Amino acid sequence: MKTLEIAAKIHILDESELTFEQKNVVEAAKSATSRSYSPYSHYKVGAACLLDNGEIITGSNQENAAYPSGLCAERTAVFYAQSRYPDARILKLCIVGKTASDVFSREVCAPCGACRQVILEAEYRSGAPIEILLPSQEGIYVLNGISTLLPFGFTYKEVKET
């Protein structure tokens, strides 16, 4: 039997350690929570993408009574960024959540499996990892690419070969 051990390297920064760009994308994601439509879960999620052209694109979760017809904040932001600026690379992506009492989550608001796959595709399209920021009460978790959370994701290359 063989064993494969997968380790993740995640930096946890204090807000004072963030760069100007990181602070801007975190604030944009926090602001995006106010545009969430979440009458069912009562969990507001905001996401913000910083593009290589300097634009910050935001998204929020949009729920629907015909579950699972809604869309997560990060997919809303990534898809909008790619449709509006198809040649721009996403440099940073921040995801934040707010509870029903309108308080930012104590824990990180990590992307679901579908969002992880969409982020991986965005990285594949641009040929570079996306820095992912996940604020929490402990600090801001900073990941260098989605492979930290999705080590066995698949891309167009694998799908094309089948």
CATH 3.30.390.10 matches 11-161: no
Task: Please give the model's pTM, rounded to 2 decimal places.
Answer: 0.93
C-alpha separations of 122 from 23, 55, 117 in Å: 22, 16, 9
Active site includes 138? no
- 79-126 pLDDT per residue, tens: 999 999 999 999 999 999 999 888 898 999 999 999 999 999 999 999
First CA to last CA distance, the chain:
28
Residues facing 58 on adjacent strands: 48
**Options 27, 63, 74, 107, the catalytic residue:** 74
- 66-81 pLDDT per residue, tens: 988 999 999 999 999 9
Residues facing 132 on adjacent strands: 93, 143
